[in-house]
Amino acid sequence: MIMKTITVFSLLLLASTLSSSLARGSFQTLLPSDFSHQSNVSRARHLLEEIESRSRTRSVDLTKGYMSNSDLERAVKEFGQRCSNISRIYSIGKSVNGFPLWVIEISDKPGEEETEPAFKYIGNVHGDEPVGRELIMFLANWLCDNHLKDPLATLIVENVHLHLLPSMNPDGFTLRKRGNANNIDLNRDFPDQFLFINDDEDSRQPETRAIMNWSRDIRFTASATLHGGALVANYPWDGTDDKRTFYYGCPDDETFRFMASIYSHSHYNMSSSKEFVDGITNGAAWYPLYGGMQDWNYIHAGCFELTLEVSDNKWPIAAELPIIWKYNKMSMLNLVASLVKTGVHGRIYSSGDGRPLPASITVSGINYTVRAGRTFADYHRLLAPRDKFEVVATMPGYKSRNTTIWLDEGAMTLDFVLDPEVSMKGSILQNVYDCNCDSKSKLEFVEFLWGSHLEVFFVLILILGFLCLLFQRRKKVKHSTTKLRTVVV
């Protein structure tokens, strides 16, 4: 009885303390040791948070302190002016209600095609998960302020083309709901390998089509979308072929686990999750979904994408945003930097003329192909560090070439030079057409024939013709004499 009384008293005291803390918005005042045990304790906690969120919605304007769509547009354009030396502002399309989908590109040569990998962050995929749009603007401004001051900022700006889409779903944000203006969940609107839906591109939402066209236009090496409602780094596959919930890894499962762990372990407390081991999860093992963006990116765009749940609360009060940025800052930076700090990178050339070849790169044992760029034939193959890999370069009309590499911590540069496949007939033709005769000598010979020596040329022809005529007459006479003799005998 005494123990029960103490327990009840303790719970009441704890409830009083939490109530007081929430009233003060004391998320920011929690000590690291306190906060490190707050995430992902159990799935039941999510239900309590939803109840709390609904009660707060009735009494508090959740959008207070968040940028409106107009505020966000203004912030993006002001950033472009303030950081014009390392940025470019452009739109990839418009939402259902006509709001532009603004993108910030950050690079030392924005808008130019280079042999550098490209990365994209996308926020606000779901309208009621606005933390991502705020974090992306925090990230952009930090890079602008710290370029040439902080080594990591300088590394990213000068070696990666970083593209930032703060809001994929501005209409949903305005409506404070998950879907877009047509009430479609944009993370269920992409073509799916298991569920044959949305095969007609014209039937997809304009926001979805914009992302797909964007990914075709820019050869992204990797990307991540920012969501809310949990604290975990999610990786493919998102669905299963029989719709059951179980771990279903893609061909690059090892690499995706490595990427997810980079984010999780760089985060303040994601890796200490009690719900998700190491703070990461396979999507299908968590809960299967179909029509998701990350699977489509990997299959159709050659892009390794993660789905990042960056906040337990989908729509926390705005006062908590700076601390959420603080906890996600190094994760967001390190994930981008991993494009040049890990993996295999290089270019592919022809041994015949040295021109770049848009060849394909495969790794033995992994059923996935990475294609080199058409302009510079550069490739960027993300791989988890381990002892060795056999890398193969192939191109139609050329002999494939393979080599074994040892990939420890750090990136490796590996260029390929491919030999053309030439048949015997092709070889003879090549010898004819590749004749290295001196063009000047050929020109001088023509000038000799058709220049001032033209008269000599005609005299020679006449002499040869006269000699041929005499030879023919002598042959005819001899033939007649012989014939005559025969008759006389």
Indicate which residues carry an active-site annotation: 309
Q: Is 165 helix (H, G, I), strand (E, B) or coil?
A: strand
Contacts of 176 (CB under 8 A, 6+ apart): 62, 63, 127, 128
Count CB atoms within 10 A of the CB of residue 251. 16
Q: How far apart are CA 143 and CA 165, in angstroms?
A: 15
Q: Which residues pair with 120 in a beta bridge?
A: 163, 223
Name which of 344, 347, 350, 349 is nearest 366 in CA terms: 344
Q: Which residues pair with 404 in a beta bridge?
A: 390
Buried/exposed 22-56: b ≥16 CB within 10 Å, e otherwise:
eeeeebeeeeeeeeeeebbeeeeebeeeeeebeeb
Q: Which residues pair with 402 in a beta bridge?
A: 392
Under 8 Å between Cβ of 90 and 103: yes
Amino acid at 97: N
Q: Is 217 helix (H, G, I), strand (E, B) or coil?
A: helix
Q: Is 233 helix (H, G, I), strand (E, B) or coil?
A: strand
Would you list the DSSP string of 361-372? EEETTEEEEEEP
Q: Which residue has the tokens 């009660």?
A: 55
Q: Is 8 helix (H, G, I), strand (E, B) or coil?
A: helix
The C-alpha angle with vertex 247 and arms to 242 and 248, in degrees rounded to 5, equals 60
Bridge-based pairing of strands 230-235 and 161-165 is unpaired
Bridge-based pairing of strands 386-394 and 360-363 is antiparallel
Q: What tokens were used for 95?
A: 């939402």
Q: Which residues pair with 310 in a beta bridge?
A: 231
Q: Which residues pair with 94 in a beta bridge?
A: 100
Q: Which residues pair with 362 in a beta bridge?
A: 369, 392
Q: Is 234 helix (H, G, I), strand (E, B) or coil?
A: strand
Sign, Cα dihedral of 47, 48, 53, 54: positive
- Whole-angstrom CA distances from 344 to 22, 189, 256 are 48, 32, 15
Helix 131-146, helix 321-341: angle, nearest 10: 60
